[in-house]
Chain A
Amino acid sequence: MQPIIGLTVIVFMAGALAIGPAGAQTAAQAQTPGMGGAAAMHLLPGEEFLPSDVRAKQADDFDNPAYPYVEAGEATWSKSEGLNGKSCEDCHGPGSKSNVKQAAASYPKYVPSVGKIITLESRINICRRNGLNAPALQDISDQMIAMVAYLRWLSRGLPASVSAGGQAASVFERGSELFYAKIGLLQLSCAQCHNQKFGQKFGGETLSQGHALSYPVYSLSQRRMIPLHERFRMCNLLARAEPQPINAPDYVALELYLNWRSKQLTITAPGVRP
């Protein structure tokens, strides 16, 4: 029997050698941040993965539980607030104006006056402080969620138009790194669920491709609005990782990367989720 055992070992080693390089290459490609994984993937919007009744609820403004937030945001847009006695509309014009419609789609973006990449929420607060002379809104407050829901609703049908280059390059790089980073006790990455396992059941829900185009969303089970960074916190908890605060630099970077990754799809906010 000796020759057979010897041969077994040799063949085993040959197998490892023959397969090693190809396997290593595949793993490297899969983990290359940026273009690699997402570019090769056929993009499917989040709605594709929803139960049909939830999808119908989202599509119908009268039935969409997030829609009252859009209406509240619309009312706030033209309402004078703060010590300067001005409204958003006084500077930016009505929601029907094309640059107002397109605004939400371009965030997070580099804003020269603050010298960094900021979210739409931060932009709103900068305007409140400098333009209206009004107190900043808490990121998770109903008022802020309403403003974002309204502006994102105006951008419906438009592709996310974020920039990944220039001043945004390093933040974008960080975002793509985070998407592929294995985190928490369970050592899971965004990519594992949303690039590789989309369409499969995780618990009772179907994993989507992780496009954030319908955020903020109304969660039917939690009966509340969930802004994107709150969703990041929920995902972190699932991986048993430490969630970061809303508007943390890593979350801004991840938001930028996600929007870039969804570029061929269009915004469908505000969404509804089970």
Chain B
Amino acid sequence: MTGLRIVTFLAVASCIAGAAMVPGSGTAYGAECKRKTAGFYLQDTDAAGARNLRSLQSITQSLTGMQGNAERGREVFIDRQRGDCLSCHKVSSLSSFASQGEIGSALDGIGSKYNEAQLRQVLVEPKAYFPDTMMPAYYRADAPAASVLTAAEIEDLVAFLRTLR
């Protein structure tokens, strides 16, 4: 925990100072900075050079109280009428499906970058991490009719995304 707090402190401090200090990278750096702070989303590089994502905001409880099913999640993921995730995201293991988009990031390895609670947060309200994203919020507990997916579908998707390692 101590380690994370120090990382938090360093990441945010360098973010604020960096906006003014990094020459020639004003706008892009400022946007990155905004992402880091507004969403309590932090990114740093560890000693081995690996990129780490850390989040202070996530949804730790399953929306259904149960573990999702990765097989069903895969169906939701590719279904044009439900998740339709491939319209914006590429996934190498699904390369048999043509017409993969690239508006969002490629999702290879997403399951080891994010834990379940973080994936659930991104699906339910992605703007919590990425304020500028155009990715829709896929679940609304307060308004089931306006919810793109059901709670069970979100849990199944989380389980599927965790298999993308």
Q: Is the CB of A188 within 8 A of B87?
A: no
A197 to B102, CA, bound (A): 10
Interface residues of A in 11-52 (CB under 8 A from B): 11-12, 14-16, 18-19, 22-23
CB distance from B38 to the nearest CB of A (A): 7
Among candidates A18, A188, A196, A197, residue contacting B136 with C-beta atoms closer than 8 Å: A188
A165 on the B face (CB < 8 A): no
Which residues of chain B are near A192, meaning CB under 8 Å? 134
Interface size class of B (residues with CB under 8 A): 20 to 34
Q: How many residues of A contact B (CB 8 A)?
A: 30
Q: Is B101 an interface residue (CB 8 A)?
A: yes
A227–B137 CA distance with the chains assembled, in angstroms: 31
Cβ proximity bits B126-162 to A, threshold 8 Å, 1 near / 0 not: 0000010010110000000010100000000000000
Instruction: Indicate if the CB atoms of B16 and A203 lie closer than 8 Å.
Output: no
User: Are A203 and B99 touching (Cβ within 8 A)?
Assistant: yes
**Cross-chain contact A19 with B38 (CB below 8 angstroms):** yes
Q: Which of B5, B8, B134 has most chain A Cβ within 10 Å?
A: B134
Cross-chain contact of B9 among A8, A18, A186, A200 (Cβ < 8 A): A8
> Quick check: B134 and A19 within 8 Å, CB to CB?
no
A204-B12 Cα distance, complex, nearest whole Å: 39
* A200–B33 touching, CB < 8 Å: no
Residues 94-128 of B at the A interface (beta carbon under 8 Å): 98-103
Cα–Cα, bound, A207→B37 (Å): 30
**In this assembly, does A62 line the interface, its C-beta being within 8 Å of a C-beta of chain B?**
no
Q: Which of A4, A15, A23 contacts B12 (CB 8 A)?
A: A15
Contact check: which of A16, A188, A202 meets B37 at CB < 8 Å? A16
Interchain CA distance A200-B2 in the complex, whole Å: 41
Q: Mark A192-226, 1 if CB is under 8 A from B, else 0.
A: 11001100111111010000000000000000000
A19 and B37 form a contact (CB under 8 A):
yes
Counting chain B CB atoms within 10 Å of each CB, the highest count among A19, A187, A188 belongs to A19
Contact of A11 among B12, B38, B86 (CB under 8 A): B12
Number of A-B contacts (CB under 8 A): 74
Whether A7 is near chain B, meaning CB under 8 Å from some CB there, is yes
Residues of B within 8 A of A4 (CB): 5-6, 9
Whether a CB of chain A sits under 8 angstroms from the CB of B54 is no
Q: Verify A188–B134 contact, CB threshold 8 A.
A: yes
B88 touches A23 (CB 8 A): no
Do residues A196 and B9 form an inter-chain contact, with CB atoms below 8 A? Answer: no
Are A200 and B30 within 8 A (Cβ)? no
Of B9, B15, B38, most A-chain CB atoms within 10 Å = B9
Q: Which residue of A lies closest to B30 (CB)?
A: A22
Query: Could you tell me the distance between the alpha carbons of A188 and B37 in the complex, rounded to whole angstroms?
Result: 24
Q: Closest chain A residue to B33 by CB distance? A: A19
Whether A185 contacts B38 by the Cβ 8 Å rule is: no
| Cross-chain contact A23 with B16 (CB below 8 angstroms) | no
Residues of A within 8 A of B38 (CB): 16, 19, 23
How many angstroms between the C-alpha atoms of A14 and B30 in the bound complex? Answer: 14
State whether B134 touches A15 (Cβ < 8 A): no
A1 within 8 A of B: yes
Contacts of A196 in B (CB 8 A): 134
Separation of A8 and B40 alpha carbons in the complex (Å): 12
Q: How far is the CA of A11 from the CA of B10 in the complex (A)?
A: 10
Q: How far is the CA of A14 from the CA of B131 in the complex (A)?
A: 18
Task: List residues of chain B with CB under 8 Å of any chain A CB.
Answer: 2, 5-6, 8-9, 12-13, 15-16, 19, 30, 33-34, 37-38, 86-88, 98-103, 131, 134, 136-137, 146, 148
Identify 11 residue pairs between A and B in the complex whose beta-carbon atoms are under 8 Å apart, listed by A's number.
A1-B2, A4-B9, A12-B8, A12-B12, A15-B16, A18-B19, A19-B19, A185-B148, A193-B134, A203-B100, A204-B98
Extra 13 A-B pairs, beta carbons < 8 Å, given A193-B134, A200-B103, A240-B148? A12-B12, A15-B37, A19-B33, A19-B37, A22-B30, A186-B148, A188-B134, A188-B136, A196-B134, A201-B100, A202-B88, A203-B86, A207-B103
